[in-house]
Amino acid sequence: MRKQSLVTQILAVNALLILSTTLAGITAAHLSLGDQVEQQQALIIVTGIFAAVLVNGVVLRRRFAGLERLISLMQDIDLSRPGLRADVAGADTSDVARLCVAFNRMLARVEDERARTGSAVLEGQEQERARLARDLHDECNQALTGILLRLEALSQRVDAETREELQTIKDLTTVAMDELLRLARELRPTALDDHGIRVSLQAQIERFATTTGIVTQLQLDQGAAAELTELTEQEQIVVYRIVQEAMSNVAQHADAQHVDVAIAIGPGHAPTVTVRDDGRGIPDRPDEGLGLIGMRERARLVGGSFEAHRGPDGGTVVTLRLRVPADEHTGRTAA
């Protein structure tokens, strides 16, 4: 019985009680099956028992329907897509309503704690990126610059053959310096701190096009440029990182020829960033890796929404919408 559902257990107990009570009544009434009248009475009693059990089962299942819906909702909860709540108004009984209220409060506490933790992790990550970028730019690059100067001075005091070897070493050192500068810009773009999100996005797109050979362009709708300047520092970082990750995915997986990065202003002055390519396209039900999960988490932490899907003409469309109203995050499910 412990493995059966609560409805089944209650129905079985009620059926046993009805049967026991009926048998006790028959015994007390000294009912026998000796003649046709008593047989008809027995048949009526048996029919009444089955009818009582059937009605009892229907009533129990209707009463427990709200609890079953709440259990289904609990099984479907995905904390990476917050906002889903049990519908207290649709609860059938006060007990189920109390369960819904308690469950909603628990979800809210879990989501708030998860948001605080995620925000702290991403903030710490950005600080660590900035520190590494400074170290690469200041320490490593200065050391390589010193090596270049020493090689240049040394090349003035050696023969022609050795000078050619030193020139090769100087070229390799210059390549290493350029690579370190590229890594430093990817870790923490100075343009984002100095000139804002629009300039940093344009610089990022130009570097991407130069490095990959993919035709890439930035499109700004009317009013989008002004709206971008109103973004908070955290929102700017989120926009930059999601565009960066989306274009990185294009370079690694899409086999695309063109990439369009568009920024528009939606309802409620909500900036919407779209990265669209003409590559092979994302699967209809992709197995979300760390890249997609990270982008969704970043969007959620600034009150936005993130979506990645196959485009109508092929390719992949990545959409980030900032400042989504709270009621659009909440999905209500009857329970």
Query: What are the helix (H) ranges across the chain?
Result: 6-28, 36-63, 65-76, 94-134, 141-155, 160-187, 190-194, 197-212, 224-228, 233-249, 290-301, 326-329
The residue assigned the tokens 């003035």 is 156
| pLDDT for 30 | 64
Q: Of 172-176, 211-215, 267-271, where does mean pLDDT reach its minimum?
A: 267-271
Question: Rounded CA gap, 14 and 216, in Å?
Answer: 71
pLDDT at 326 over 70: no
pLDDT grade for 178, boundaries at 50, 70 and 90 = confident
Read off the amino acid at residue 211: T
Q: Which long-range contacts (CB under 8 A, 24 or more apart) does 177-183 make?
A: 177/141, 177/144, 177/145, 177/148, 180/136, 180/137, 180/140, 180/141, 180/144, 181/136, 181/137, 181/141, 182/207, 183/133, 183/136
Mean pLDDT of 28-38: 63
The residue assigned the tokens 């209220």 is 101
The predicted model scores a pTM of: 0.63
Query: In this predicted model, what pLDDT tens digit does every residue of 124-171 receive, in sequence order?
Result: 877 888 888 888 878 888 888 899 899 888 888 888 888 888 899 999
Query: In this predicted model, what pLDDT tens digit does every residue of 219-274 receive, in sequence order?
Result: 988 777 777 778 888 888 889 889 989 998 898 888 889 999 999 887 777 789 99
Read off the amino acid at residue 77: I
| pLDDT for 323 | 72
Going by the DSSP 8-state scheme, the letter that residue 312 receives in this structure is: B
Q: Of 6-10, 34-38, 96-100, where does mean pLDDT reach its minimum?
A: 34-38
| pLDDT for 331 | 47
What average pLDDT does the structure give for the chain?
80
| pLDDT for 285 | 63
The residue assigned the tokens 């890439």 is 216
pLDDT at 217 over 70: yes
| pLDDT for 330 | 47
Query: In this predicted model, what pLDDT tens digit does every residue of 309-321 receive, in sequence order?
Result: 888 888 899 999 9
| pLDDT for 328 | 53
